[in-house]
Structure 1
Amino acid sequence: MTVLLAVFGTLLVPLGALSACGVPVRPGAQGPSGVEGAPADPARVPGVGDHLYQRIPADTRQVVAVYGEGRNSPRSTLVLYTRHGDGWRRVDSWPAHNGRGGWTTDHWMGDERSPVGVFTLSDAGGVLPDPGARLPYDEDDGAYATPEEWGASRRHDFDYVIAIDYNRVRGTPPHDTTRPEGVAKGGGIWLHLDHGSGTSACVSVPRSAMRYLLRTLDPARHPVVVMGDRAELRT
């Protein structure tokens, strides 16, 4: 999303075919403050205020919460919660990165900020074979390959991805370029492997976390991601 034109192999692709993290595609750490010490079954997802909590669908039983360190920070923590009865139970947490510019409630292509909000998680894929995902998994070593110029440190970013349903069509592979709200509103925002620094708008986590999430997030439990900087999440 941060570039106007990118090269996919030897194929030149237009602006509308780029993902948020800049890839051209075909047309156990400590949790955030208030999480680790929370009751085993809090009545609501810790650190999430009324504004966003009310947007979590009533049938959702799995929440991936991304707690950003600050509005302009690329650092965050990802925590997985599952619903048991009327309460939410913390399952595990991992260090993460978000957009290198931080967070925004009005995301646009190229702003290098991750969108704040509640988004469903419906589809997965990647360069590598399906590790046992419950979400529909699209293996394609071409569609998810990173550009050569990205260098070795980012070569494996998209070995595994989970599409965040921001400005995309649910039920399609993560690399699908359809943007219902228009190209200017960005898209191609994924959970993917971490390379040690901020992203263009995606959320990145360690390989072990991605494999665990792929094997755990279950369409029958209607998983969603709740993401943003901590102050905005508490609103």
Structure 2
Amino acid sequence: MKIAGSTALVTGANRGFGRHLAAELAARGATVWAGARNPDTVDLPGVTAVRLDITDPAPVAAAAERAGDVTLLVNNAGVSTGTALLDGDLAQIRLELETHYLGTLSVVRAFAPRIAANDGGTILNVLSWFTFPGVGAYGAAKAAAWSVTNALRVELAGRGVRVAGLHVGYMDTEMAAAVPGPKADPAEVARLAADGIEAGSYEILADDVARRVQAGLSGGVAALHPALP
């Protein structure tokens, strides 16, 4: 789809990658709604802040009413609790699932009919194949979001709504501040994401981590986890 002239809504747009992507879309000529739990924290010029907590049905419905002209939806809002699956706090694991899985689905359910009614458009879900045992809750929730993306892609194809997934490892944002090692530049990932949207890509691989994991998926467990006995 063409970004210039579109109307986009980015969840979690007050900081991190969401802020970079909202800025990129605005620079390319989109009218941008910037979703955040606290709209006062949105400081991007040229965008309109809207209250949006993706885990709460009321503000999701209210945002869909207010931003009913959306043709591009970016599901970026997320949380990383650093919780392990085996002995981590179940409440934190539920929070990850409520956010990445059910929260993303809730926003899609609210906005997809409006995008379809606006002559179609694109939904982009920010995903990740990257996981470690110590942060298994995040990986499991993102895996659920990936499955949701694949299912919705088929369900919405006949309604003129393209569903894409952005796959990336760690980005140099506040969420990954404590993670050592190389991280992708969120501004560059935003540029690649916007390019992928305009190209009509179903999967956008933003860094080497995503490309390596995608290649490993066809190789089975041995390719994904070579250290296993």
TM-score range with shorter-chain normalisation? under 0.3
**TM-score normalised to the size of structure 2?**
0.23
The structure that is strand-richer by fraction is 1
**TM-score normalised to the size of structure 1?**
0.23
Q: Higher relative contact order by CA 8 Å / sep ≥ 6: 1 or 2?
A: 1
The structure that is helix-richer by fraction is 2
